[in-house]
Amino acid sequence: MSELWSHLVSWFASHGVLPLLQFLHIDGLAGDPLDIAESLLIATLQLGIIGLVFRPLESLVPAERWTDRKLTRVDFQYTVMMLVGIFPVFSYLVLTPVANYFGGPDTGPGDASASPLAITHWLPGLKAHPLLLFFCYYVVYDFVYYWMHRLQHALPWWWALHSMHHSTRQMSCWTNDRGSLIDGFIQSMILATVGIVMGVEPDQFAWLVLVGELVQNFSHANVRIGFGPVFNRVFVAPKFHRLHHMLVDPTRPKLHNCNFGQVLSVWDVLFGTALYNEPPRPTGVGDPMVDADNEHNLIGLHWNAFRRFWGAVRSPAGWKFGEVAFGPDYVPIPVEQLDLHALGHHVMQPATHQAPHASPADQTATAAGVTEDATAA
């Protein structure tokens, strides 16, 4: 199987990737055509698994039953665009030159150009055990992702971008890649930097990404599947991640701050953010400024997210840690100033209808016309 895969990659590199790079006159700028070919084939493999395995499961064991799937179409379009277009271009026209500038992947303790923090630089014996080495890479990769994900929810200007991923009311196997390009760029640079520091080679990094992406495609799927009492504490299951995307419950306003893991749920268990044994809940975001994403196509989605980002990054409130919603001017408003019960159904109370002794915080929230916690994770 390995030999067959190598032949397929070589054929595609010679007959597809290299001619295209030469036609565009960027063969000297891009990475190795073999790496590009492998990345594109991996993306095709990923699309096949999502479409032929995960999507049928959504019809067999759905967590929610929908009368139609119209809100999932934009996520499908975005997934295809990301996997076979944006991600390969970004990886091999941006990340590869950066990696090469900093010395490229580690080749062992004797390589002066290798990262001094590379795993095999300190544990060269792992080179003889590629599966164990890959596991070590992934544990570090996933650990960084967990904390990055928590920061996406805690830092208002970053939430302004990441909220695009959470805004869908129909979370499905295509939802994983739904996200702002700016957010994707930031995430990719952080994770790629971690890969470079660890000494991950390009083909290994592609497989790291594939494993993470496939698990996330599955964990976002609209299926009622868990992994049992033991493995639920180790790996992220669809039931587990669905709670991360649930609408906020005004009676338990902190419940949704949970289940941030990408592949390993063990980080949530260790750091106290794991939530289990809750029934399935509707997904999406109550904040109408974010929920409006559902009314737009791909371009509108990104424009909405950018306006939130621009409003947040220019405001002092956008740099203060905490959960926020967004006012009509896209400036973040701390959820502590919002009445989640009154605003939970996108109800805007005119200022003249305020109670005589309404607090300034309540009046601010009402005037802003925002609704329940924008981080309805």
The angle subtended at Cα 107 by Cα 119 and Cα 98, nearest 5°, is: 85
Those residues whose C-beta lies under 8 Å from the C-beta of residue 128, and which sit 6 or more positions away, are: none
Asked if 46 and 211 touch (Cβ cutoff 8 Å), the reply is no
Radius of gyration over every alpha carbon of the chain, rounded to an integer in angstroms: 22
Q: How many CB atoms lie within 10 A of CB 43?
A: 22
Any idea which residue has 């920061």 for tokens? 151
**Burial annotation 171-202 (CB, 10 A radius, 16+ → b, else e):** bbbbbbbbbbbbbbebbbeebbebbbbbbbbb
Predicted local confidence at residue 97, as pLDDT: 57
Each domain of the chain, given as residue ranges in start order, spans 2-154+171-270, 288-368
Predicted local confidence at residue 114, as pLDDT: 58
Predicted local confidence at residue 137, as pLDDT: 86
Predicted local confidence at residue 34, as pLDDT: 77
pTM, two decimals, is 0.80
Tens of each residue's pLDDT in the chain, 377 residues: 568 878 888 888 888 878 877 777 766 665 677 777 877 888 888 899 999 999 999 999 999 999 999 999 999 998 988 877 666 555 555 555 555 555 555 444 444 445 677 787 777 887 787 788 888 888 998 999 999 999 999 999 999 999 999 999 999 999 998 999 899 889 888 887 888 788 777 667 767 777 888 889 999 999 999 999 999 999 999 999 999 999 888 888 888 899 999 999 999 999 999 999 898 888 999 888 999 999 999 899 999 999 999 999 999 999 999 999 998 889 999 988 877 665 555 433 333 333 333 433 343 344 344 433 333 33
Task: Give the pLDDT confidence of 149-170 residue by residue, as tens digits.
Answer: 999 999 999 999 999 999 999 9
